[in-house]
Structure 1
């Protein structure tokens, strides 16, 4: 599945299943797009934020708070990927530092 990031999402309100929360349709679409993107690419929060043009905080809020209200199964799968990324981040940081000093 390829992702086409649109700057203008349709703005229609809908009612979530739990708690009667109202979320605009463009936010719901972004949340599902982000969840699917992370599932397919195992991307980090930072990488996902760059792709979608939003902040890391927005990505984190979307996948931890909004996604479980919209699609619980996808939220659980994304959570596992993010936990895996978190466990590996010290390795990626060490690699980045090594590359930095090799180039100097």
Structure 2
């Protein structure tokens, strides 16, 4: 694994763990795709730091379980905003 990838994996993983960020949020912060963040946090991190990988996995699982709630909230806010603008 190249040094810059190794460094990015650790930075991304620590960011996700410390801030409880979603894959989408981390991708925006680090300027890479969601696919890259996901691969870094799941596959590559496992080879570097198994303990951190378990912690990050729990955050990602929590975010995945909650995404339908966040999506519903965003839709609700969208329609309330449209209603208020009319």
Check whether TM > 0.5: yes
Superposed CA deviations along residues 45-104 of structure 1, whole A, max 9, x for unmatched, are: 000000000000000000111000001100000000000000000000000000110110
* Inter-partner Cα distance in structure 2 for 1:59 and 1:91: 22
1:90 corresponds in structure 2 to: 68
* Inter-partner Cα distance in structure 2 for 1:39 and 1:61: 15
Structure number having the greater helix percentage: 2
TM-score (norm 1): 0.78
Question: CA RMSD, aligned part only?
Answer: 0.4
2:46 maps to 1:38: no
2:45 maps to 1:53: no
The runs of at least 4 aligned residues of structure 1 exceeding 2 Å deviation read none
* Inter-partner Cα distance in structure 2 for 1:65 and 1:40: 19
* Inter-partner Cα distance in structure 2 for 1:64 and 1:37: 14
2:45 corresponds in structure 1 to: 67
1:27 corresponds in structure 2 to: 5
Q: Which runs of 5+ in 1 are unaligned?
A: 1-22
What count of residue pairs does the alignment treat as equivalent?
82
Task: Point out which structure has higher relative CO (alpha carbons under 8 A, 6+ apart).
Answer: 2
